[in-house]
Amino acid sequence: MSSAAKILLVDDDVLIHFMVEDIGRQMGHSITCAADGAAGLAALKDEHFDLVILDRRLPDTDGLLLAPEIQADARSSFIVLSSLSTPNDQLLGLGLGALDYVSKPVEPAVLKARIERHLATRRDTSAPAVLSISETFHLNLVTRRLAVAGRTECLSPAENRLLAHFMKNVEIPQSRSDISKAIGGREWVYGDRTGDVLVSRLRRRISGSTLQIITVHGLGYSLTEGSGA
C-alpha cells in the first residue's frame, strides 16, 4: 500500500466529518464520507478502502452490521468510533473484527494517532506474509487464511492478529494485557473478556492439529505442542 491511504468514514455527525477530513488532509489521505449505512455499503461496493471508520448509531442501522462487507475485502479493515462504549460494546466490536474501538467524544489528535498507527501496521512490508510452524500449519496474514490439519479456516481480523501473536511467541505464556495489546493495541481493562472469547474461538479453529492454546494458570495462555491444561 502506498503512503496515501483511502479511508471511508460512516457517520451521520457532520462535525465528525469535518474532523476526519481535516485529519486526512494533514496525513495526505483520501477521505470519503457516508452519512448512513446504505451510503456506506454503496461506497464499499464501488471501491476499495484501506480503512473504514464506523459509527454505531447510524440513522438506518448499527454500523457493525457493515463489518461483513468490509471484511469481504481481505485488504481492508475497520475501527469503531462510537458513544456506545461499555465493555460489552467494545467486546462486540472487537469480536466482530474491529482493529480498534474508540469512544466518543474523542480528541482529534487521539483519533489521528489511532488512524496513523493502524495504517502504519498495514504498510509494514518487513514482516513475512505467511507464518508457519509446521508443514501443516500456515497463517497467511494478508488473506487471513489459516491452513491447518488439511483444511482452511477463514479468520476474522482480530483472530488473525491474535493467532499471529501466539505464533510469534510459541511456548511463551501471554497475559491478558499481552493479548489485549495484540488485538487492539491497548492495555487490558478489568472485566474485558475479549481476549478470552477470541482464545476460545481460536481453539476451535486449530482443532485437529498438534498445536493447542493452553491455559497457564496464573499467567494467561500459551500456544504449544501437545496436550495442555
Domain boundary among 104, 123, 142: 123
Q: Are residues 78 and 172 in the same domain?
A: no
Domain count, the chain: 2
CA distance 144 to 130: 10
Residue type, 164: A
Instruction: Give the pLDDT confidence of 48-90 residue by residue, as tens digits.
Output: 999 999 999 999 999 999 998 888 776 788 999 999 988 888 8
Q: Are residues 149 and 167 in the same domain?
A: yes
Cα-Cα-Cα-Cα dihedral sign, residues 174, 176, 180, 185:
negative
Kindly report whether the global pTM for this prediction surpasses the value 0.85.
no
Instruction: Give the pLDDT confidence of 96-155 residue by residue, as tens digits.
Output: 888 889 999 999 999 999 898 888 766 655 556 889 998 889 999 878 899 998 999 998
Q: What is the dihedral of CA 22, 27, 33, 38, to 10 degrees?
A: -150
Q: Are residues 81 and 144 in the same domain?
A: no
What is the pLDDT, as a whole number, of residue 183?
83
Which bin fits 134, alpha (ψ -120 to 50), beta or left (φ > 0)? beta
Instruction: For residue 115, tell me if it sits in a domain.
Output: yes
Task: Give SS3 for 39.
Answer: helix
Q: Are residues 10 and 119 in the same domain?
A: yes
Q: Are residues 92 and 172 in the same domain?
A: no
Q: Are residues 22 and 102 in the same domain?
A: yes
Instruction: For residue 221, tell me if it sits in a domain.
Output: yes
Instruction: For residue 1, tell me if it sits in a domain.
Output: no
What CATH number corresponds to the domain at position 95? 3.40.50.2300
Q: Are residues 14 and 29 in the same domain?
A: yes
Domain boundary among 88, 123, 158: 123
Please state, as a whole number, how many other Cβ atoms lie within 10 Å of the Cβ of residue 157.
21
What is the pLDDT, as a whole number, of residue 124?
56
Instruction: Give the pLDDT confidence of 172-228 residue by residue, as tens digits.
Output: 999 999 998 888 777 777 778 888 999 999 999 999 999 999 999 988 999 998 754
Q: What is the dihedral of CA 91, 92, 95, 101, to 10 degrees?
A: -70
DSSP alpha helix (H) spans, the chain = 14-27, 37-46, 67-71, 87-95, 108-123, 157-168, 176-184, 194-205
Domain boundary among 123, 139, 158: 123
Instruction: For residue 64, tell me if it sits in a domain.
Output: yes
Q: Are residues 87 and 56 in the same domain?
A: yes
Q: Are residues 107 and 152 in the same domain?
A: no
Q: Are residues 189 and 210 in the same domain?
A: yes
> Domain span at residue 63?
6-123
Q: Are residues 218 and 164 in the same domain?
A: yes
Residue 216: what are its φ and ψ, rounded to 5°?
-105, 100
Neighbouring-strand partners of residue 126:
none
CA proximity to 36, closest of 47, 28, 44, 25: 44
